[in-house]
Structure 1
Amino acid sequence: MDGAIPYVRAEGDPYALGLQHGRRRAAALQDFVGDSLCRLNLLLPRPVDEAALAPTVAAYRAAIEAAVPDLAAETEGLAAGAGLSVAQAYLLQLRREVLGYRKVPSAGDCTTYARSGAVPGQEPVLAQTVDLNGDLDDQITVLDLARSGSPRRSLLLSFGGLLGYLGLNSSGLAVGLNLVLGGRWRPGVPPYLAIRHLLDSADDVTQALALLRTLPLASSRSLTLCDARRVVCVEHLDGEWRETEGTQSAHTNHFLHPDFAARDEINVFARRSSVKRLDAARAALAELGADAGPERHFSVLAAPPICVPGNGDVRRERTVAAAVLLPARGELHLRPGDPSKSSTHIFRLEHR
């Protein structure tokens, strides 16, 4: 995949943002919902249908409405704009939670690293691969959103109708993520929506951390928060949070904080890949100069073991995108699909 990347620029109240997003992506989202139910039935051990998922969707919807009502309203707008039911629009937000986690061999998942601007001559940067199953590179969309009444815009990489995934805002905050496995996943705010909430609401890492701790996160995850002064990796497990801070950070798919390490549910095959990719990311950080530009970061993200190639199995995680976020500039540099085979697309926040 290396053609034009769908781009949605929207302004207005939450419902209007979702409405514009839905209208722009209506045909693609209808096709995705109709494709083995958002491709869930290509990945789950047993087929499901909307009726079977209705209680799960309703439970998550209630949690989202209570914790992040603006995103609940935006989801309703997305449904109206795309010609979907509200339940289908919620299902688009909940795919990862519906999939849950299984202790099966895996070649990889996302690799993330970040640097703050605290070192002289170094601008803040957050770089990561996006490794997903389901062949989701055809669902990539970039969202540039301005909510009424907010002083900031958000620029996000999204997949298949998601209101959030990873991104940055016009205040200079960037947020990336990694899947980590553990604890009980339960109805709550999916981490992708939590990231969107942080970008809409926080000016910096300090504010984002305070907001994050108020959210009933649905599942285990690691988030990397980056601004001009700080880089913090925060891990979530069963309602608990652990932070690690430095001028730079790297994370893959196993828990790094010692308080959580013994509760890690990653299987031995996936852990081997995770450790290997983490070592490679840390080595790259040690070698990258303070003046390294986006293309230098892509040379790291596009090389093995960080870049995980596909093998034709839709159930297997592979690298479906790589992103370099420059929050001080308001820029998202993106390579869709396998980053070793695609060119860079640059998206900028125009009104900062």
Structure 2
Amino acid sequence: MPTHPLPRVRAAGDPAALGRAHGRERAPALKAFLDDAVGRLGHLLPGPVTLTGLAPTIAAYRTAIEDALPDLAAETEGLAEGAGLSPTEAYLLQLRREILGYRKVPTLGDCTTYARSGSAARGLPVLAQTVDLNGNLDDQITVLDLAPSGTGRRSLLLSFGGLLGYLGLNSSGLAVGINLVLGGTWQPGVPPYLAVRHLLDRADTVDEALALLRALPLASSRCLTLCDPERAVWAEHLQGDWRFHDAPETTHTNHFLHPDLAARDEINVFARRSSEKRLRACRTRLATLPADASAEDHFEVLSQAPLCVADNGDIRRERTVAAAVMFPSRGELHLRPGDPSRHPTQVFALR
């Protein structure tokens, strides 16, 4: 099935320059997205949504981001300038998931993520995942190819609708994926998607990334999966508490796996059944996948139900809007936009 090439924003320089380049390249798409019920939040939340009504919430998060991640705050300002948006609009694009919060409603699924490194990878570390989101966001996919000045690193990131980060890898051989887990009180702080970007900008290894994570005031519960040539780790966060699991092969879906956090899980019973089913299926399929499996082999794992969640026509329900396979030691990001069982792979490489 033919697929249009995904937009790729290439930029180098200081934070403001990166943001301006991103904004200029994606300005029409971002303006149209914001004009669609305020970034489609109006289609997903139970009550009316206006930028004016959201402004106090956005301002509180903006202050937290400026304090913790001034470089990404400056890049957000640059995004606004380049796209012709207000700073409030540019920050809204970083905060959509935090504004949505979480509600105990039935859902079909969310992301499934796994990683292999060390002895399980035999020289070919890999991090792969489905991306399950509501809001029909497959039309908002952009690949960011960024070289921030002063870091010596370059990163490839999957982005949706103006986000400065979602998942990706860097030229040091570090890859980061992300899963939603639900618990605790969500409050102004660093959105986890920006935390992913921060790690790729600043860390060469899983160890360095974990140290950076511990220092961040994350706004909400999440699980990050980190992979370099030596280690694969998932890191669960719940209201300031972190728990980690280090293994040659890791798998994660959308319920807390560490026993210290499992009792505080707020996932609803329907979503938990889906999460557990996807976790079992993922582990079963990985058991038959060789260490030197190709990207297409990994997409076979990700493209079948229950890991791949089909569109049921309800914009409020999560469905698979992309799948990613990352080979961090090769600097390669392989993507299938939309339903991965229906679209061909597009390959992005750092070298």
Q: Given the two structures, how large is their TM-score scaled by the length of structure 2?
A: 0.99
> Structure 1 residue 122: deviation in Å?
4.0
Residue 285 of structure 1: how far off its partner (Å): 1.8
1:165·1:196 contact (CA, 8 Å) conserved in 2? yes
Letter in 2 for 1:145: L
SS in 2 for 1:287: coil
1:211 matched to 2:216:
no
Q: Which residue is equivalent to 1:274?
A: 275
- Counterparts of 1:227 and 1:89 in 2: how far apart (Å)? 32
1:203-253 CA-to-partner distances (Å, cap 9, x unmatched) read: 010000000000000000000000000001100001010001100100000
In the alignment, the residues of structure 2 paired with residue 285 and residue 246 of structure 1 have an alpha-carbon distance, to the nearest angstrom, of 14
Deviations 1:13-54 (A, max 9, x none): 000000000000000000001111000000001012111111
Give the Cα–Cα distance (whole angstroms) in 1 for the partners of residues 265 and 301 of structure 2: 27
Q: What residue in structure 1 maps to residue 349 of structure 2?
A: 348
The letter of the residue matching 2:21 is Q
Residues 58-116 of structure 1: per-residue CA shift (max 9 Å, x gap): 00000000000000000000000000000000000000000000000000000000001
Q: State the AA in 1 paired with 2:12.
A: E
Give the superposition deviation at 1:117: 3.4
Q: Deviations over 1:247-284 (max 9, x none)?
A: 01000000000001010000000000000000011112
Q: Are 1:52 and 2:53 an aligned pair?
A: yes
**For 2:118 and 2:168, how far apart are their aligned partners in 1?**
17
Letter of the aligned partner of 2:158 in structure 1? L
CA distance in 2, matches of 1:2, 1:299: 18
- Matches of 2:89 and 2:160 in 1, distance apart? 15
**TM superposition shift of 1:118:** 3.5
Q: Secondary structure at the match of 1:232?
A: strand
Match of 1:32 in 2: 33
Aligned to 2:285: 284
Amino acid across the alignment from 1:195: V
C-alpha distance in 2 between matches for 1:152 and 1:329: 14
Rounded to whole Å, the distance in 2 between the matches of 1:121 and 1:95 is 39
CA contact (8 A) 1:324 1:332 kept: yes
State the SS of the aligned residue for 1:25: helix
| Paired AA for residue 153 in structure 2 | R
Counterpart contact for 2:110–2:133, Cα < 8 Å:
yes
- Give 1:80's aligned amino acid: E
After superposition, residues 239-254 of structure 1 pair within 5 angstroms as: 239-254=240-255
- How many Å apart are 1:121 and its aligned residue? 2.9
- What residue identity is the alignment partner of 1:310? D
**Residues 2, 337 of structure 1: 8 Å contact kept:** no
Shift of 1:291: 1.2
| Contact 1:118/1:228 (<8 A) preserved | no
CA distance in 2, matches of 1:117, 1:87: 43
Q: What is the DSSP-based 3-state SS (H/G/I as helix, E as strand, rest coil) of the residue aligned with 2:118?
A: coil
Match runs of 1:84-163 below 5 Å: 84-119=85-120, 121-163=122-164
Using the TM superposition, give the Cα deviation of residue 120 of structure 1 relative to its aligned residue in structure 2, in angstroms.
Answer: 6.7
SS class of match (2:278): helix
In structure 1, C-alpha distance between the alignment counterparts of 2:251 and 2:24, rounded to whole Å: 37
- 1 CA distance for matches of 2:119 and 2:66? 38
- CA separation in 2, counterparts of 1:87 and 1:110? 28
Does the CA contact (< 8 Å) of 2:121 and 2:292 recur in 1? no
The equivalent of 2:309 in structure 1 is 308
The residue identity in structure 2 corresponding to 1:290 is A
- Percent same amino acid among aligned pairs? 71
Displacement after TM superposition at 1:119 (Å): 4.1
Instruction: Read off the aligned partner of 1:191 and give its amino acid letter.
Output: P
Corresponding residue for residue 184 of structure 1: 185
Please give the alpha-carbon distance, in whole angstroms, between the structure 1 residues aligned to 2:226 and 2:217: 18
Please name the residue that 1:173 is paired with: 174
Give the structure-1-normalised TM-score: 0.98
Amino acid at match of 1:180: V
d(CA) in 2 for partners of 1:26, 1:172: 31
Report how far residue 199 of structure 1 moved.
0.2
User: What is the root-mean-square deviation in Å for CA atoms of aligned residues?
Assistant: 0.9
2:232 paired residue number: 231
Deviations 1:137-159 (A, max 9, x none): 00000000001111110110000
The aligned residue for residue 329 of structure 1 is 330
Would the aligned equivalents of 2:120 and 2:249 in 1 still touch at CA under 8 Å? Answer: no
Output the amino acid matched with 1:209.
L
> Separation in 2 of the partners of 1:302 and 1:328?
24
Distance 2:78 2:309 in 1: 35
In 2, the alpha carbon distance for the partners of 1:10 and 1:162 equals: 15
Matched AA of 2:183? G
Q: What amino acid is aligned across from residue 93 of structure 2 in structure 1?
A: L
Q: Tell me how far 1:315 sits from its aligned partner.
A: 0.5
Q: 1:297·1:324 contact (CA, 8 Å) conserved in 2?
A: yes
